[in-house]
Structure 1
Amino acid sequence: MNIRRAVQADLPKLLEIYNYEVVNGVATFDTEPLTLKERQAWFDAHNVGNHPLIVAEADGVPAGYATLSTFNSKAAYDSTVELSIYVAPECRGRHVGRELMGAIIALAKEDPRTHRVVSIITGTNEASIALHKKFGFRYAGTITEAGFKKGRYLDVGYWELAV
């Protein structure tokens, strides 16, 4: 597995990975698949400042990706970033998420502009919660019934890591 910065040519596969979760899961609260045009703005907001976008590549194809994104648009929050990791369904269970987590946290620690990494995790996402615990994230609280998807209200937990 090769971990590297995302390039424009990766965007269609990254969108496919994300849209799979939109349609089939609850890790994102988007409810309708995004288009390439819609996802382009997201792509362009990464690999600038303290917002890296990295890809885990297996056999020359993105198997998953990780980002550090704007946590809140107010300037005082600039040193806090939101972590997201998505893994292609066919690559789950192969430690792609763990490799991406290690690499994105290393980038956060190397960047003096980043002080805190925050993840917002759906309460039912046991695998993500376990991964965050393994990397030393601290549980910071829950917003109950924060979103409605797949016919039910879902809680979200906030997890943080000081870097």
Structure 2
Amino acid sequence: MSMALRQATMSDLPIIVDIYNQTIPSHEVTADLKPVTVDQRRPWFLEHTPDHYPLWVVVLDEMVVGWLSFSPFYGRAAYAKTTEISLYLDRTVRGKGLGSQVLEMVPNQLIQVGLTTVLAYIFSSNLPSIKLFKKFGYEQWGFLPAVAELNGRSNDLVIMGKRFD
């Protein structure tokens, strides 16, 4: 199996949306409660630029099976080198080590776009993601108790962070 990242193109947006929507019913991964549409995600897609806040697709054996994005953490200039990371994988490849392969590529990608600090927002119930980020040296930098209500139950938000100097 040959895995690679490549810059996402607008033609990738439908598969990016499909992979994202796969996670909504579990109420473990994202705070969206209903599936999103390609039209709804188009502005988000266009906010990503290859030179600072890129969006990649994860390609496995020539098929798009996931995506990785760096997004602004907070809209003030002093935070320009800090990014929120998002990593989503198609249900057919989850649990097979692909997330680890992608996170191994993050330091090099950060250098290319001038970012130094990565934050991951993860629900406390999403133990596989917390375990994955801890495996790569991310630490819990924040904890927001019961900030989300998903399917009638409260969920905490864990903020994992790591500096790459």
TM (norm. structure 2) is: 0.91
Q: How do residues 13-162 of structure 1 correspond to structure 2 at under 5 angstroms?
A: 13-112=15-114, 114-162=115-163
Shift of 1:60: 2.6
CA distance in 1, matches of 2:87, 2:50: 18
Shift of 1:108: 1.0
Question: Do the aligned residues in 2 keep the contact of 1:71 with 1:80 (CA within 8 Å)?
Answer: yes
Q: What SS does the corresponding residue of 1:89 show, helix, strand or coil?
A: coil
Give unmatched runs, 5+ long, in structure 2. none
Question: Do the aligned residues in 1 keep the contact of 2:54 with 2:70 (CA within 8 Å)?
Answer: yes
Match of 2:14 among 12, 15, 18: 12
Shift of 1:6: 1.3
Given residue 78 of structure 2, which amino acid in structure 1 is its aligned partner? A
Shift of 1:57: 1.2
CA distance in 1, matches of 2:21, 2:105: 23
Shift of 1:11: 0.9
Shift of 1:82: 0.2
Given residue 70 of structure 2, which amino acid in structure 1 is its aligned partner? L
Q: What SS does the corresponding residue of 2:96 show, helix, strand or coil?
A: coil
How many residue pairs are counted as aligned between the two chains?
A: 162
Question: Do the aligned residues in 2 keep the contact of 1:56 with 1:62 (CA within 8 Å)?
Answer: yes
Could you report, residue by residue, the CA deviation over 1:70-110 in whole angstroms, capped at 9, with x for unpaired residues? 11112221111000101111111222211221223321133
Percent identity, aligned pairs only, is 30
CA distance in 2, matches of 1:99, 1:110: 18
Give unmatched runs, 5+ long, in structure 1. none
TM (norm. structure 1) is: 0.92
Q: What SS does the corresponding residue of 1:55 show, helix, strand or coil?
A: strand
Greater Cα offset, 8-17 or 72-81: 72-81
Question: Do the aligned residues in 1 keep the contact of 2:85 with 2:119 (CA within 8 Å)?
Answer: yes
Greater Cα offset, 29-38 or 101-110: 101-110
2:5 equivalent in structure 1: 3
Greater Cα offset, 141-150 or 49-58: 49-58
Shift of 1:23: 2.7
Given residue 59 of structure 1, which amino acid in structure 2 is its aligned partner? D
